[in-house]
A and B are shown apart, each in its own frame.
Chain A
Amino acid sequence: MSEPRTLAPPERRMATVSGIERLGAYDLITALDRWGPRDPRPGQFYMLAAAERWGGGGDERPYLPRAFSYARARVEDDGVALDFLLEAVGPGTQRLSELGPDEGLALVGPLGIGFRPPADGTRALLVGGGIGAAPLLCWQEELLGIGRAPSGGGRDESPPGVLLGFRTAAHAQAAALFAGQPQVVTDDGSVGRRALVTELLAGELDDDANATVYACGPPAMLEAVRALCAERDVPAQLAMESGMACGFGACFGCVVPTRTGYVRLCVDGPVMDAAELETAMVAGAGH
């Protein structure tokens, strides 16, 4: 099977912000991309920068664009509407969170390799930590066949399970974006149990280990997922993040260690087969 990668046009282009929704601790930014491909693959990402006032924020930054997995994509008459989930944690995300309607959003993408289908006969388990819920949204839609004609492949697997962990109730509002009833836990117990999302995953795998796990979240969580799945011999795909300047293999900055040496997350990831990793505990991006 060819890798799940939709090619990007080889230049930065301008999208237009068409919606900003406050979602508890997060912002959901919708941008209309008129000239990009209509079919990004879940798990792929875009490099984003505000068209105006990119720079001159905290510490006289941002300067570089910021990498974001898209959360959802909807084909519209004049382009594709891309949703990005973000939390203001640094000068880049702060500026993006201040975007207003009709503002320009410079983007390059879609980039990287997305999620691969579940191993034969296994059910998909989607495991998200915080903002890591974003790429799992479009992946759930795809697995459920939402927004497209049935594949005709006659898939009769059970719907994907969705397990989400958040810091607080304000963050947990992002769970409402998912179809069905995701299981939610929080660090402070304000929504669901006070637990780690990996505890939910362990419980699910106790019940039925015949699964393919898809995870995205902070490094410590991804490492816990990796270790758990390795221990139980469950295939897992991890959508990872690392400090990234370009997104298309030019800067060599975003490497993570694998069993066969360093690989660039932007061209060989961001979705990595957990079996290739010694650890998923890598330096974060710091937006």
Chain B
Amino acid sequence: MSEDRSIDLCGVRLRGPVLNGSGTFDAIAARRAFGDALVERFPFDAFVSKTITLEPRQGNPPPRLWETPAGLINSIGLPNKGLDGFLESDLPQLAELPVPLIVSVMGFSRDELARLVAAAGARGEVAMLELNVSCPNVETGLVMGADPAETAAAVERVRPASEKPLIVKLTPNAADPAAVARAAEGAGADAVSLVNTLKGMALHPQTGEPWLGGRTGGVSGPAVRAIALEQVASVSASVEIPVIGMGGISTGRQAADFLAAGATAIAIGTESFRDPAAGRRIAAELAALALPGTHPAPASTVV
């Protein structure tokens, strides 16, 4: 008999605290590779979809990846089927997963965002919504999530579009992520998640030109973990709403650090690329740490 590890996230009961980061796991593609065993041994306690946009997107030209020390830079460009394609073909398949579904959406204007939130939020299969605000608002030219006022305006605009819990995914590429988090909270967000990837680039070893087809990309993996942990701690200290922490988590001990820093739940991203079952392994390691009478050693000391 397994112990109850369930948590409450914005009124939704999750069997545990381990989510996936948006865009780091495609449950539909994974089911083609792994079959129904993926559903039977599903690695996460809630599933966050890839970000969907109003119109279909092909994504950025390759190459899209560059390996860094303990991490990678990706420049994927949000390929997706668009809202209609998602609702028609992806959503029924994602509804077969054994965990609550969180749909991530991104719009290039506040109106677009509101349309996406209304349409996805109206579906019974969808438990929560996540706003990806790491994109430019074409009307103002500002990256929504980089600016507290932009973020507040976006959340205020979409808030009436759905009664479902609304998570705002914060970008680390902001002068003061805690100020953005407070703005999101003030405008009616139910939770914040962070960090998204950190902006980075790599040059072609022979030509010196940008390696990635999209020229720049986002850095993820253990390389960003210390930065992510600080941002999760400072945001957690600034808001009352739940915080979903992520950024290079690859062990249960590191997940425990993010929880200790104030996160209610954590998400696994890049580590899933190395092991599709990373979420399950990290949840088990985390559960073992929490056993009464155990005193985990410090995760990292300079020796």
Q: Which positions in A face B, CB cutoff 8 Å?
A: 5, 7-12, 49, 55, 59-65, 106, 108, 111-112, 242-257, 261-262, 264, 266-267, 282-283
Contact = CB atoms under 8 A, between A and B. Distances in A.
Contacts of A264: 29
A22 to B, nearest CB: 27
A243 B67 CA distance: 9
B221 A243 contact: no
Contact of B273 (A11, A64, A106, A261): A64
Given A10-B38, A246-B274, 7 more contacts: A12-B274, A61-B68, A63-B72, A243-B62, A245-B74, A253-B63, A266-B33
B35, B41, B65, B221 pick with most chain A CB within 10 angstroms: B65
Interface of B: 23-26, 28-30, 32-35, 37-38, 41, 43, 58-59, 61-72, 74, 76, 79, 221-222, 270, 272-277, 280-281
A55 B69 CA distance: 8
A244 B67 CA distance: 10
B276 A253 contact: no
Contacts of B41: 10-11
- What is the predominant secondary structure among interface residues of chain A facing chain B? loop
Given A250-B24, A261-B58, A108 B72 contact: no
Contacts, number: 134
Contacts of A267: 29, 32-33
A5 B23 CA distance: 25
A7 B29 CA distance: 12
Contacts of A246: 272-274, 276
B273 A255 contact: no
B64 A7 contact: no
Contact of A63 (B26, B34, B59, B221): B221
Contacts of A11: 41, 275-277, 280-281
Contacts of A61: 67-69
B275 A12 contact: yes
Contacts of B29: 248-250, 264, 267
